[in-house]
Structure 1
């Protein structure tokens, strides 16, 4: 049950991000091009499992994009806001399909597989 709730939570974050992005009338081309950009965090796995899990997790937590949303609102930056919403959408999409924060033990071992 908890795992299902976490998947639904991710789906709702993704849908809410799409709605907000649409309401703010940002570029859908930019959205499509950048939706998978946070997966650049996987490059850390080229070094080793530990570094890979750290870099992947840094790109797949809500901390940085939410901080950027706050910064974008303070400085009235629509570009930073659009990028942040895309980033949040990516994380929500990943959670909805079952990708979670990675364990140093292996890429397939995530916080969602332990729920």
Structure 2
């Protein structure tokens, strides 16, 4: 698929995601919040998948808004700046989710369909189209 990361670049982006997940979990461990909170909210960003009920264009938009690093970093910075630990906690869990998705190969979506991502195709046919 045109526009998708391939080869070494794809692997670097996946390792980057793994490191974001590890870093977010490390900082979360010092936050004072319990791991139950972490695991309870870890999959909340996937609610954005409901956007696909309105079609692939809206689905990709809602998914990408919830799965870029912009939101988590805004939460982290705001929580730090405003001294709101709950907001920082949300940012760490959100960043961990995005990092986990990237490490697993789930990238930002293109409007053509759910299976077309910036990290390459996912799902059926992914192996046959990957270099």
Q: CA RMSD in A?
A: 1.3
Q: What TM-score results when the alignment is normalised by the length of structure 2?
A: 0.84
- Give the structure 2 partner of residue 11 of structure 1: 18
* CA distance in 2 between partners of 1:108 and 1:48 (Å): 13
Moved over 6 A (4+): none
Match of residue 60 from structure 1: 67
Within 5 A, what are the aligned runs for 1:94-105? 94-105=101-112
Aligned residues: 115
Superposed, 1:5-84 pairs within 5 Å as: 5-84=12-91
Q: Deviations over 1:62-81 (max 9, x none)?
A: 11111111111111111111
Whose helix fraction is larger, Structure 1's or Structure 2's? 1
Report the Cα distance in structure 1 between the residues aligned to 2:70 and 2:40, rounded to whole angstroms: 22
Q: Which runs of 5+ in 1 are unaligned?
A: none
Q: Structure 2, unaligned stretches of length 5 or more?
A: 1-7, 122-129
| Higher radius of gyration, 1 or 2 | 2
Deviations 1:12-48 (A, max 9, x none): 0001111010122322111011000000110100011
Q: What is the TM-score when the length of structure 1 is the normalising length?
A: 0.96
Q: Does 1:112 align with 2:80?
A: no
CA–CA distance in 2 between the matches of 1:53 and 1:24?
32
